[in-house]
Structure 1
Amino acid sequence: MPKAAAVSREATFGARSATSGPGRRAWMLGPALVAGVAYLDPGNVASNMTAGARYGYLLVWVVVLGNLIAWLVQYLSAKLGVVTGRSLPELLGTRFHRKGTRIAYWVQAELVAIATDVAEVIGGAVALQLLFGLPLVAGGVITGVVSLGLLAVQRQPRTFEFVIMGLVAVIAVGFVAGVFVAPPHPHDVVAGLVPRFDGSGSVLLAASILGATIMPHAVYAHSALARDRFALTQLPIPRLLRATRWDVSIAMAVAGAVNVCILLLAATALSGAGGTDTLEGAYAALRDGIGPVVATLFAVGLLASGLASTSVGAYAGAEIMHGLLRTGIPLLVRRAISLVPALLLLVVDADPTQALVLSQVVLSFGIPFALIPLISLTARREVLGRYRNRVLTSAAGVAASLFLIVLNGMLLVMLTAGV
């Protein structure tokens, strides 16, 4: 956005009245909690469960680091939407003057969206199979149909947020309960905070965890969610940004705690047990080792994560298409089309857990394409005016981007060399 436009928007916000009170503060929360459901999708579950089952507490530090980076990324994304009144895809669409550039960028973003759908639909299908014995293909179709119903509610943003937050509560209970039944030893948890790897397999899982934690489509979606929520608000920008920091902090605290608990549960209850590299095997091990209640809660949490995150993913995909290609298709039609790749994988009987983990690796390679433009735009005076990033904030964003790019490079070299 041109500097004059940013200043005009700030003046408009400043001229409006700013009411206060608990109700107003609660009303400002929500966009981050919706975007944050992307950090609790079945890809997270598969990556964290696999990491804990294979390597114990080794990669706890990756989950924690990923969540810290996610806080910075999601706040910057929301700030972009609040201050400019436009989403990240919209701003990129105006800056990519060549149509070919916009199309190329959209293609990579669309591949990320497809990878997201694969994880979410397969996760829901696995959960339905564990709970009710349904075939995976039937479970995938049911997950897709239910997600269509959730998207129909999206026309009423606040209702959509409440539905998603309700599913987040179910997810949290489902995945955290097992840690209270079989708590890890504090010494082991602390040891897992020391950064280190153990061969190419651990690097692969680290990239998968980061891809599942720092979701590119969540970056695109959050700027749009914040834009839509505060488009007609009467509050000044500084207050909106303070509320946004609280919103992001709450969302990331919930997501981070749940993700750590998933890994700790696997490290405590599944490490060294046979057949726990799959979600089905993990469910069986939890049922036999801790009890059917914990195993059922795990499956219910997995189902809720698939339903919630697939709806947010479809919203993000529609925003990406609209912003970059300046066109779009009805959200429900898009959702139906994007189900096809995931259902095809289920039809050909691909290994569900492996597909989930690899989908997160695809997401990790899409991170720089979302993160680098976000850091660049939020650091520009002509875009955010006096709300542009401070030097330390931009430095932290650059460091995070470099870390993710280097990690992905290491992964690519190791896989190519067959290490």
Structure 2
Amino acid sequence: MKKILVVDDEKNMRWAIKKALQKEAYKICEAANGLEAIEKFQEEIPDLILMDLKMPKMEGMEALTKIKEMRETTPVIMITAHGTMESAVEAMKLGALDYISKPFDIEELKITIAKALKVGELQEEVSYLREELEKNTGKTIIGNSAEIQEILKIVDKVANTNATVLILGESGTGKEVIANAIHYSSNRNKKPYVKVNCGAIPENLIESELFGYEKGAFTGAVARKIGKFEKADGGTVFLDEIGELDLSMQVKLLRVLQEREFERIGGNERIRIDVRVIAATNRDLYKMVEEESFREDLYYRLNVIPIKIPPLRERKEDIPLLTNYFLERYSQEVGRKNIAISEEAQQKLLNYHWRGNIRELENVIERMVLLGQGNLITVEDLPYEILQEKKSAETYQLPKEGICMEALEKDLIIQALERAEHNQTKAAQLLKMTRHTLLYRMEKHGIKKK
């Protein structure tokens, strides 16, 4: 049952409204002035407020302001016998959803209330989804590896800047998750966040998707269309798969990044925007620049803050954390609790190559939770491709007397640095690790940079 708070200094008016609305199965609370309205609001948390404009002790405008500060999504309808356009506009500016003038028709009031309650439900849903998105999608970065911790530091440093960010990494490594974290940690997090998959939109449609068009711009343009950049004004645009843009669109995107303005297709009006751009790709943009399939000037415009996400096989210490995260998530979805994975099965996951990275791991865990019978996932539950993973040609035999891993790792790092003439990037490639990991392990072993 929906709860409505009726605020009016006229007792007869409150009685008449209460009698009419109770027939509609609403629960009615009453207050005689703005001060009482605030007290009742805090006690009852109504779904809607009907509030008179002119009242003793505290008028409706002041009470409206205070109530909106406490709970922005509660719809408020102002009732006034002094219904001028100025007072209505002022109430709307302060957050009122609608207004109705005395004397009013009861049926008209019922319709206005029904519409306001629907808007209130939608506002609550949007508020809830935004909170869930911020809590779950925006900031779910799982990992204790040195590489992930370094990425988190970068995200924290750049989030509240307007710097363009370029996220690089193989498919499935979590580039969109990092983009989400940047936006939702920034001061733009209440503004639009518009995502565009540049590889999923046909070449002949990408310009109209990004910049929009005017009515009559081409056959089929029967009305003006607002593009993604215009929709994102004040917020963030995430351009996923940026490497898929053709050269003609690269030129137009470069202009937007340089001048922060554009025209809709078929229009002459210059549209100024305030948009933060985050781009991502699984392609080697620098190599594409050398091959002249990606503009060098655009590359440097995008590459202000580069974030390189290593593949999962290069940060195996994160696999158990990710496994447990996905186990808990999908266990809740199917209504099963305390699903665990055996040590032997976990070791198989650690040894697997994970060509599809985190996305592949998530799919595997979801499949095992859905198809599994008991609360323990064992080796027998693992997919065929993991069980049949061939041993690497670089497998080493452990000596009978054992070995000191710390000494071996330090020695191999020194050998790689010497062979690469102390070029850290080349040494990291020889050791099949990222440069960040190499620097972390050099510091761990006390190996000085040259």
TM-score normalized by the length of structure 2? 0.21
Q: Which has the higher strand share?
A: 2
Highest Rg: 1 or 2?
Answer: 2
Structure 1 length as normaliser, TM-score? Answer: 0.22
Which protein has greater RCO, CA pairs closer than 8 Å, 6+ apart? 1
